[in-house]
Amino acid sequence: MNRPDVISKFLNYVKYDTQSDDTTGTSPSTMKQHELARFLVKELNEIGASDVYYDEDHCYVYASIPSNINDNVDRPAIGFISHMDTSDEVSGKDVKPRKVENYDGKDIVLNKELGVVLSPEDFPELSNHVGETLIVTDGTTLLGADDKAGIAEIMTMAEVLLTNPDIPHGDIKIAFTPDEEIGEGTAHFDIEKFGAKFAYTVDGGKLGDLEYENFNAAEGKIVVNGRSVHPGDAKDKMVNASLICYEFHSLLPVQMNPMYTQGREGFFHLTEVSGSTEKASASYIIRDHDEALFEKKKQLFIDAAEYLNKKYGEGTVEVKVRDQYKNMIEKIRPHMHLIENAKKAMTDIGVTPLEFPIRGGTDGASLSYKGLPCPNLCTGGYNYHGKYEYASVQEMEKTVDILFGIVNEYGKSYK
């Protein structure tokens, strides 16, 4: 079987700067995401995909691989989804990936001049990759494995199936989305056009990751309105907005900080703060797996603002809380074949399924609540959203095998 190189595809895709931006208010949030979308549309047409559709307004790419089994057995169309954008935490422009062959378990110097080192002392999971080939950055940008590794794996699977018609499979649907990193990846996703009954996002990390429980998520923002007075004449007159902003943060529980939480423990994460004496603002993300605890966290955020308004005067602190996505597990439970088939696809090739709650979210969480049950699969990428990001060549290749295994399971009679 002629199999394209998933790594060559991946290295092509990371050349595209596709960072999303939650400040623009547009969809997609950045026009540069269209460049990768157009490239993928071209590639899908070249490999012979059907129903290739490019939503030029909102930057979504859809395609199909029609079933080649004619036995009148009812099979659901199964979908695979990855996102094109990368995080805005670290630059994704001019990514310079390189391969570290036969990794020896020692420090990897990413950038000697800047003193950037990928060390197993800081990232102990590196010890699991001894003997593998790793793809790393030059220490100045992120890599983009989140989620261009997922795109490469889906595209590799698609090309193999389309160029090897003797491999039996049911209907397969593919989609690539923008703006997942800012929580808007499904804002204009057309489930009807996509056409799958069930799907998987390929947007996880470590080989074997099988995720179907995620955070409930909200965004919290405050704006503090102060009063600027010359500090020499400020007594009983000045209202320092920046200090009140810090006071607001002090009202949130110290232990509910992502630096101190793990597993199913939720948090308040301060993502941005700016201001002066006259006006200040702060942005947070609020997370919890447990819905009741999640609601309490949102209320605590609002209560902190109300407390400060009582202290300093009504209107001093403006507060907004906006829900982003919910825990998908309630929508996955009625369709556990998604999990069982993925587990079988993994165990058949010697991969141990790792079922842990996501300390984050994926497009699949929102899609599950829109009627498309959609758990999340591994990609073989690590240390997302930063310059220490890397991917394992062997794990990416194994992930492609997992996708083939899932396709094979759904090619059988549907139970």
pLDDT, average across residues 122-135: 97
Size of the chain, expressed as the number of residues it contains: 415
Residue 358 has pLDDT above 90, yes or no: no
Q: Is 94 flagged in the annotation as binding?
A: no
Spell out the CATH class of 6-213+327-411: alpha beta
Catalytic residues: 85, 180
pLDDT at 277: 97
Burial category of 182 from C-beta neighbours within 10 Å (exposed 0-12, middle 13-18, buried 19 and up): buried
pLDDT, average across residues 362-381: 94
Residue 9 has pLDDT above 80, yes or no: yes
Q: Is 385 flagged in the annotation as binding?
A: yes
CB 402 within 8 A of CB 378: yes
Residue 229 DSSP label: -
- Reported as a pLDDT band with limits 50, 70 and 90, residue 415 is very low
Angle at 349 between CA 327 and CA 3, to 5 degrees: 100
- Reported as a pLDDT band with limits 50, 70 and 90, residue 290 is very high
Secondary structure class of 15 (helix, strand, coil): coil
Domain ranges of the chain: 6-213+327-411, 216-325
Average pLDDT, the chain: 96
CB 123 within 8 A of CB 383: yes
Structure tokens belonging to residue 151:
């795109």
Residue 2 has pLDDT above 80, yes or no: no
Q: Is 83 flagged in the annotation as binding?
A: yes
Residue whose entry in the numeric block shows the structure tokens 């979308």 = 37
- Reported as a pLDDT band with limits 50, 70 and 90, residue 1 is low
Q: Is 289 flagged in the annotation as binding?
A: no
Q: For the segment 25-66, what is each residue's pLDDT rounded down to a tens digit?
A: 999 999 999 999 999 999 999 999 999 999 999 999 999 999
Q: Is 181 flagged in the annotation as binding?
A: yes
DSSP of 111-145, one letter per residue? ETTTTEEE-TTT-GGGGGGTTS-EEE--SSS---H
Spell out the CATH class of 216-325: alpha beta
Q: Which residues contact 117 (CB under 8 A, 6 or more apart)?
A: 107, 108, 109, 110
Run of H or E residues at 61: strand 60-65
pLDDT at 413: 55
Structure tokens belonging to residue 50:
């059907």
CB 317 within 8 A of CB 245: no
Give the distance between the most distant pair of CA atoms in the chain: 86
- Reported as a pLDDT band with limits 50, 70 and 90, residue 92 is very high
